Every structure is written in structure tokens, then in C-alpha cells.
């Protein structure tokens, strides 16, 4: 049964339809993977096996009747412990959040999964309030990488990416305010999409404002398209959410990349030092896109690193989260979070508005850039996974996580859709990701190009040893 953990959501649905497998078998396989790998990786805050199996039994009955509830009926999924999921507390990685309360509301994306019959395995780990690009917190401790648990899974949606890589459900919901699905997607060797801001509704609103996106982490782009067809509908609780899409995300997947105009920026105009093995793997992925018929040109978007503007917005948001905390609550915060909250509290309204000006100018430049190019391709990360439990790589000289994530946070500022696709491994067998970025609202184009890479075999990488027969 454990081989079911290697299947995509699309493959599981096909097997359910044909009667070759049942949601109960798939859920047991996912739970088995969790039981086997969780001691080493620590991807989950909470697992509710009894509830998951009950949901799977209900799904199996529907499939036997030929009456599936929706597009994901019986598919095991996990949810980042930032998003509300009724039936249990959402701690957001913080001891300041009390377990007391009703906890009877789903976030919009979680509600859509439930309406379509998904089976909820549990809540996945996050750093405190999702504040950094690695996953460790006062609540859950450190989350390791499926390829080497002594390395970081990335963050802030590290638990979800690790779960997908380990076969603990083919779908994980995450959030991305500065790279938080793409960073762990790259480090863990899975697909991750940050949709256009507002395409997936979010409630409650993030303290990080319009930087924060909700997106899927999946085994491939086809699964992400399927999930997007479920979670991308409007929700009245999100005043900034977008209206419905005209066609399904799945419908255009097979159109390929022939004729697309692609800009390949290996280092954002020399601003980023990229590890040679990463650069080589990304270049091979770009060459594959060219061989599939895309017009590829090496070209850089015309912007300087907007990190200070991002810091102003990000640190201010963090300060807002903790504004009403008591002295005792603050004492229990992640020390790094406590530090950026103090800095964020010192910014003035004029500082904040100056950062907004930088953001708007960056958005204008990227809009102009995409009038020439359909896609921008970069490395997702300039490095591969480093030691777990650290915010920055040892000896890097970086002070904050933004120092090693220069390819991701600019596109939260601009609200563009961006995805990471596995494109190889380094000398230590650690995954490498290539990032695909499109103009706002062109989410389907990102998925289509990513799907082409998967179909061509360019995204094939070895599975983590933790899920091979030798590793259980």
C-alpha cells in the first residue's frame, strides 16, 4: 500500500474512478509515511489519523456510488498551521496562541478543499507567524529536510513541502509572503506555486498585508492546476480577493511552451552570487524550454534589490502581530522575531509609504518587462539546503533570511505568480529549483510552462532515501 504515497493527486483520482484503489488505502499509506518519517523530519504539528480515516471511509462510499463530492474527493492533504482549519487550534508556531476557543472556522482555501472531499491528515509546521525562510518554532521545534534531516526544509511552509516530498499526502496548502512556498519547494524538491495575489482568497487577513499569498505545494504542476481549480474561487471574507477565472487551470496545461518569449536571468544582472551547481542545473532547465520551442534570451529585469523596502513592510507587519502581547508573551517569542518586531515598531508612517513607493515602481518595471517577455526564469534559490535550526547559512555573512532569498521576495512585492520546479540535485543529492515568473494574472501560463518541464522529464529527481524501501 505504501507505493500509493508516490502517486500524484491526479493519479489517485484516476485510480479511485477505475476502482483500482480506495481513499482509505491512500490515506493509510500517507499516515504510514508520516509514522515512518516524522521522527526524523518533524513536518507536522498535529496529525489526526482517526478523523482522516473517517473522512476517507466517507469518500470511499461516495466513489463506490459513483458520486464523488468534488475534484479532490479522497485525496489526502495537509494544511500549514497558519491557515484556520476547524476542529483544532491554529497555533501559528507561537506559544502566545491559546488552544482555548471554538476553532470552528475554515480559512477560505481550506473550506474549498473540504467542499471537494479532501481528506485532512493534519497541520504542518511553520516558524512563528511565518516570519522567516526556515521552519523552526517555539511550538514545534526544528523541521528537517527529507533529503537530509540535518539540513533545513526551508520555510516558512517547510512542513508542507517536506510532507509532499515524503509522500505524506500529494497536496499541501502553504502561505508565501516572501518565498514561503517556493523556498521549501526548492529545498525539498517539490512543485510550489505562489499565485497572483488575491487569486486564492485569504482570511483572516495577514498582518503582512498584500505580501501574503496562499498557494499549493504538490508533486507536480498538474496537481497544482487541479488544486487551483478548487481553491481559487472568490470568498466574501476576503475584500481583496479576485473574481472567478474564465477557464479552468487544467484546461491549458498541455499547450506547451512553443513560441513563448522567455527571459533567462541567471543572477538578476549580477546582483546574486549563485552556487555553480545550482546555476548549471537551472541553465539545463532553460535549455530544455528552448528545445521545446520557446524563444529564450538572456535578459535581466531592470531593478535593484528591493530588500530594504521589503524589510520595512515585513518588519512592520511582524510588529503589528505582536503589538498587544504581554511582557511574558514577548519573552517566549523566537528571538529573531522579537528583534525584527522591535525594529518594525520604530518605522514611521512615512517610512512605510516610502517602501510602498518602491513597491509600486518595481511593479511598474515588471509590468513593462512582461510586455516583452511572457516568462522570467531564474534560480529559485542561489543555494541548496543548509544546516537545520539556523536562519542563515553558517559563515554566509547574512544577518536575516532575506540575504539568501533574493530571487523570491521581489515577486511578493509585485504580486506576480511565481513557481518553483525541481531541476536537479547538487553534489550532496540536495534538490535544486528553477523559478518561473509571469505577469500578474498569468497563473495559467506559469503552470503550463512548469507542466512542460515535468512532461519533458526535466523535473525528474531522485526520491528522498527516507521513502525508499531501505528507509522504510
Residue 300, judged by CB atoms within 10 A of its CB (0-12, 13-18, 19+), counts as middle
DSSP, res 190: -
Label the pairing between strands 141-142 and 136-137.
antiparallel
DSSP, res 39: H
How far CA 209 is from CA of 204, 205, 213, in Å, comes to 11, 7, 9
The CA distance from 234 to 113, in Å, is 14
DSSP states along 143-196:
PEETTEEEEE--SSSHHHHHHHHTTS-SEEEEEESSSTTHHHHHHHT-EEEEPS
C-alpha cell at 416: 506576480
C-alpha cell at 472: 522504510
Annotation says 186 is catalytic: no
41 φ/ψ angles, rounded to the nearest 5 degrees: -105, -40
Annotation says 348 is catalytic: no
In the structure, how many helices (H) and strands (E) does the chain have?
A: 14, 15
Q: Among 22, 78, 80, 316, which one carries the catalytic annotation? A: 80
Q: Among 94, 157, 180, 316, which one carries the catalytic annotation? A: 180
The CA distance from 323 to 30, in Å, is 39
Q: Among 156, 206, 265, 316, which one carries the catalytic annotation? A: 156
The CA distance from 443 to 437, in Å, is 9
DSSP, res 420: E
Annotation says 365 is catalytic: no
DSSP, res 189: T
Active-site amino acid positions: 80, 156, 180
Amino acid at each position: 500500500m505504501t507505493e500509493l504515497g508516490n502517486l500524484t493527486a491526479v493519479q489517485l483520482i484516476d485510480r479511485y474512478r477505475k476502482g483500482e484503489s480506495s481513499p482509505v488505502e491512500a490515506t493509510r499509506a500517507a499516515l504510514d509515511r508520516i509514522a515512518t518519517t516524522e521522527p526524523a523530519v518533524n513536518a507536522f504539528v498535529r496529525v489526526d489519523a482517526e478523523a482522516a480515516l473517517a473522512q476517507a471511509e466517507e469518500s470511499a462510499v461516495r466513489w463506490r456510488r459513483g458520486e464523488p463530492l468534488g475534484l479532490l474527493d479522497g485525496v489526502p492533504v495537509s494544511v500549514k498551521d497558519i491557515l484556520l482549519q476547524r476542529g483544532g487550534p491554529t497555533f501559528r508556531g507561537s506559544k502566545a496562541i491559546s488552544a482555548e476557543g471554538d476553532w470552528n472556522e475554515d480559512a477560505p482555501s481550506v473550506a474549498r478543499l473540504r467542499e471537494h472531499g479532501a481528506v485532512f491528515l493534519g497541520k504542518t509546521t511553520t516558524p512563528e507567524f511565518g516570519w522567516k525562510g526556515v521552519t523552526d518554532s517555539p511550538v514545534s521545534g526544528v523541521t528537517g529536510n527529507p533529503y537530509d534531516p540535518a539540513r533545513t526544509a526551508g520555510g516558512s511552509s517547510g512542513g508542507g513541502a517536506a510532507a509532499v516530498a515524503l509522500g505524506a499526502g500529494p497536496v499541501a496548502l502553504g502561505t508565501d509572503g516572501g518565498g514561503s512556498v517556493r523556498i521549501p519547494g526548492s529545498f525539498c524538491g517539490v512543485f510550489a506555486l505562489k499565485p497572483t495575489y488575491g487569486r486564492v482568497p485569504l482570511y483572516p487577513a495577514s498582518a503582512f498585508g498584500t505580501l501574503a499569498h496562499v498557494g499549493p505545494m504538490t508533486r507536480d504542476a498538474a496537481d497544482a492546476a487541479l488544486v487551483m481549480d478548487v481553491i481559487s474561487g472568490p470568498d466574501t471574507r476576503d475584500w481583496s480577493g479576485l473574481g472567478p477565472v474564465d477557464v479552468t487551470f487544467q484546461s491549458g496545461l498541455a499547450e506547451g511552451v512553443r513560441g513563448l518569449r522567455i527571459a533567462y536571468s541567471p543572477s538578476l544582472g549580477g546582483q546574486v552570487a549563485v552556487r555553480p551547481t545550482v546555476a548549471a542545473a537551472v541553465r539545463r532547465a532553460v535549455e530544455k524550454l528552448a528545445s521545446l520551442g520557446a524563444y529564450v534570451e538572456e535578459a535581466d529585469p531592470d531593478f535593484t534589490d528591493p530588500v530594504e523596502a521589503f524589510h520595512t513592510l515585513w518588519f512592520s507587519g511582524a510588529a503589528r502581530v505582536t503589538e498587544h502581547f504581554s511582557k511574558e508573551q514577548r519573552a517566549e517569542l523566537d528571538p529573531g522575531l522579537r528583534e525584527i518586531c522591535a525594529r518594525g515598531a520604530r518605522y514611521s508612517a512615512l517610512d512605510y509609504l516610502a517602501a510602498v513607493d518602491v513597491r509600486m515602481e518595481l511593479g511598474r518595471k515588471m509590468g513593462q518587462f512582461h510586455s516583452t517577455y511572457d516568462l522570467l526564469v531564474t534560480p529559485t534559490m542561489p543555494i541548496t539546503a543548509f544546516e537545520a535550526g539556523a536562519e542563515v547559512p553558517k559563515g554566509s555573512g547574512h544577518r536575516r533570511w532575506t540575504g539568501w532569498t533574493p530571487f523570491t521576495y521581489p515577486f511578493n512585492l509585485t504580486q506576480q505568480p511565481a513557481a518553483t520546479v525541481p531541476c536537479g540535485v547538487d553534489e550532496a543529492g540536495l534538490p535544486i529549483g528553477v523559478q518561473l515568473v509571469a505577469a500578474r494574472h498569468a497563473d495559467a501560463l506559469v503552470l503550463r510552462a512548469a507542466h512542460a518541464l515535468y512532461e519533458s522529464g526535466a523535473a525528474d529527481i531522485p526520491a528522498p532515501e527516507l521513502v525508499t524501501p531501505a528507509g522504510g
